[in-house]
């Protein structure tokens, strides 16, 4: 388990250009593995184009109460980057004027931003259909001031999407830190108690599963069944859907892959599992990601690799739907992570099971 | 690196066996694929059986492949090790049960 962010450790891998260099050299430069660009060109899907904006994903800061091994944000208690209320106001303007139907708040732990509640309250007024908060669950139990979060979420009809690496303590704590499992279970029970995740409840509670090591996630539907059975039998916990997400070789997960000598094999696995049908719905095609300081990216991963949108418009204050729509999406080798198997996005598979 | 009989990277070349006998190779992979589909047994259960058999067969490629496959399906370390014990029990049981044959033979020859 990591104790500090790579940034705090002064690691080379805290620099995005270093990460991109690793991702583009070695097995890719020798031609042993095709580049993502060549791969999607084979099925005439290059360049990837942005469609109409549907989801605005806002990263309200990299501060987090956890330091998970696989974190692609390199988040942690030592990260101070945090979105200001001014930038939030600019986001709200865009939400009002754009056709986005989903707002997706992420971090770090979004709840740790001091203006988090203000933002949720303001954003709830602007007619967004699906208002998602990506909660790491333990934050609800981290400190008294967060204990009422389940009630707060309910009051504003927030859709809670929570990370849950496994239904067993050992696997969860290995990835996210000692004690995380017990706190997460408690938080889930509290969310259930106010009505979240119950079979006929409108208060949506979805879980995110991503593998604890250098392997890809298994079948999403089968994993959902196993999670539901185990959590219900062992802890009387219910939830709606499970999203299986592939770990992308970025930041701390990349560091782990290299340190454990799994990097090459993992990249081979991603490329071998490449599925051209998963390309069509990768999340960058209908999502815009906004960083804590208001810059625009095709997705949260590109944000962490500091690959800005390919458009004249670079900042939320200059937002212009026409100029952004149809832009070429910026891709690199990490994109293999979104197109392996049934595809992976913040909403889980990009190909529905019955497709 | 010293040369060994087994190279983990060879597992990635498994599909190449069709090159020297296309029809039989394809038939094998078709059959293999079907066997591991969800059926009366779940794909997860099949993966655990495969892991146990990989050990009794002592095939390093299969051990690598099904260690990964079971992990991908959310199987825990404890479940994996129990599966291997099942394989080991059958393997040792199968050895020991032949002891009856030995006893029969010895009793007949030397009773
Ligand atoms: S993975 Fe999530 S919970 Fe873990 S350190 Fe990163 S942002 Fe925090
Ligand atoms: S990593 Fe980002 S840009 Fe690349 S395919 Fe995934 S969502 Fe799109």
The contacts of residue A61 (CB under 8 Å, 6+ apart) are A79, A81, A82, A83, A107, A108, A110, A112, A113, A292
Give phi and psi for A156, each to the nearest 5: -105, 15
Substitution target in A169, A170, A219, A221 with the highest count of B β-carbons within 10 Å is: A219
Give yes or no for residue A41 having a pLDDT over 80: yes
d(CA A332, CA A17): 12
Q: Cβ contacts (< 8 Å) between B11 and chain A: which residues? A: none
Q: What pLDDT was estimated at residue A3?
A: 79
Residue with tokens 């190449």: B16
Q: Cβ contacts (< 8 Å) between B76 and chain A: which residues? A: 166, 168, 170-171
- What residues are paired with A134 via a beta bridge? A161
Q: What pLDDT was estimated at residue A354?
A: 59
Structure tokens at A180: 């995380």
Cβ(A304) to ligand 1 under 6 A? no
Q: What pLDDT was estimated at residue A345?
A: 87
> Cβ–Cβ of B73/A171 closer than 8 Å?
no
Give, in order, the Cα–Cα distances in Å from A344 to each of A44, A124, A240, A279, B16.
Answer: 20, 28, 18, 10, 29
The contacts of residue A32 (CB under 8 Å, 6+ apart) are none
Q: What pLDDT was estimated at residue B2?
A: 67
Where does the pLDDT of residue B1 fall: very low under 50, low under 70, confident under 90, or very high at 90 and above? low
d(CA B38, CA A83): 47
A199-214 average pLDDT score: 95
B76 touches chain A (CB under 8 A): yes
Q: What pLDDT was estimated at residue A101?
A: 94
CA A43 to ligand 1 center in whole angstroms: 35
Give yes or no for residue B47 having a pLDDT over 80: yes
A317-323 average pLDDT score: 94
Q: Cβ contacts (< 8 Å) between A213 and chain B: which residues? A: 71
Distance from CA of A121 to the nearest CA of B (A): 38
How do residues A50-69 score in pLDDT, each as one tens digit?
A: 999 999 999 999 999 999 99
Give, in order, the Cα–Cα distances in Å from A102 to each of A105, A112, A350.
Answer: 10, 21, 17
Order of strands, sheet of A205-209, starting from the edge strand that comes earlier in the sequence:
A242-244, A205-209, A159-163, A130-135, A102-106, A55-59, A287-290, A296-297
For chain B, how many residues are written? 111
Which residues 203-222 of chain A have a CB within 8 Å of chain B? 209, 211, 213, 215-219, 222
Please name the residue whose Cα sits nearest to atom 1 of ligand 2: A335
Substitution target in B50, B74, B76, B78 with the highest count of A β-carbons within 10 Å is: B74
Distance from CA of A83 to the nearest CA of B (A): 36
- What residues are paired with A208 via a beta bridge? A163, A243
State the ipTM, two decimals: 0.84
Work out whether strand A159-163 and strand A55-59 pair parallel, antiparallel, or are unpaired: unpaired
Please name the residue whose Cα sits nearest to atom 7 of ligand 2: A284
Distance from CA of A207 to the nearest CA of B (A): 15
B27 touches chain A (CB under 8 A): no
């Amino acid at each position: 388990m990591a104790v500090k962010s790579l940034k705090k450790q002064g690691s080379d891998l805290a620099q995005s250009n270093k990460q991109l260099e690793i991702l583009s050299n070695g097995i890719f430069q020798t031609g042993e593995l095709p580049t993502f660009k060549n791969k999607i060109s084979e099925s005439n899907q290059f360049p990837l184009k942005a469609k109409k904006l549907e989801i605005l994903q806002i990263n309200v800061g990299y501060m987090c109460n956890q330091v998970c091994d696989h974190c692609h944000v390199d988040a942690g208690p030592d990260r101070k980057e945090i979105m200001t209320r001014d930038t939030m106001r600019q986001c709200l303007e865009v939400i009002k004027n754009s056709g986005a139907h989903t707002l997706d708040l992420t971090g770090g732990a979004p709840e740790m931003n001091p203006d988090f509640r203000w933002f949720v309250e303001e954003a709830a007024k602007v007619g967004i259909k699906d208002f998602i908060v990506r909660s790491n669950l333990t934050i609800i139990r981290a400190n008294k001031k967060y204990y009422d979060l389940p009630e707060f979420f309910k009051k504003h009809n927030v859709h809670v999407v929570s990370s849950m690496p496994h239904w067993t303590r050992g696997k969860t704590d290995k990835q996210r830190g000692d004690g995380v499992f017990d706190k997460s279970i408690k938080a889930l029970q509290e969310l259930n108690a106010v009505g979240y995740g119950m079979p006929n409840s409108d208060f949506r509670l979805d879980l995110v599963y991503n593998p604890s090591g250098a392997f890809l996630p298994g079948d999403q539907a089968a994993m959902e069944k196993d999670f539901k059975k185990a959590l219900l039998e062992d802890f009387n916990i219910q939830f709606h859907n499970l999203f299986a997400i592939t770990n992308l070789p970025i930041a701390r997960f990349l560091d782990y892959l290299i340190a454990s000598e799994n990097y090459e094999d993992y990249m081979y696995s991603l490329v071998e599992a490449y599925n051209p049908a998963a390309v069509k719905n990768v999340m960058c095609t209908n999502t815009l990601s906004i960083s804590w300081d208001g810059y625009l990216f095709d997705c949260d991963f590109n944000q962490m690799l500091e690959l800005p949108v390919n458009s004249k418009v670079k900042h939320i204050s200059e937002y212009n739907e026409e100029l952004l729509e149809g832009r070429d999406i910026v891709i690199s080798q990490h994109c293999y992570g979104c197109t392996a198997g049934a595809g992976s996005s913040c909403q889980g598979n990009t190909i529905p099971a019955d497709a | 690196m010293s040369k060994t009989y087994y190279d983990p990277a060879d597992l990635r070349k498994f599909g190449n066996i069709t090159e020297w006998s296309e029809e039989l190779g394809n038939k094998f992979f078709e059959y293999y694929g079907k066997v591991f589909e969800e059926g009366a047994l779940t794909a997860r259960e099949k993966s655990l059986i495969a892991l146990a058999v990989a050990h009794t067969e002592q095939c390093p490629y299969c051990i690598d492949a099904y260690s990964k496959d079971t992990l991908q399906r959310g199987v825990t370390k404890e479940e994996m090790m129990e599966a291997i014990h099942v394989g080991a029990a059958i393997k040792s049981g199968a050895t020991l049960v032949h002891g009856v044959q030995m006893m029969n033979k010895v009793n007949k020859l030397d009773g």
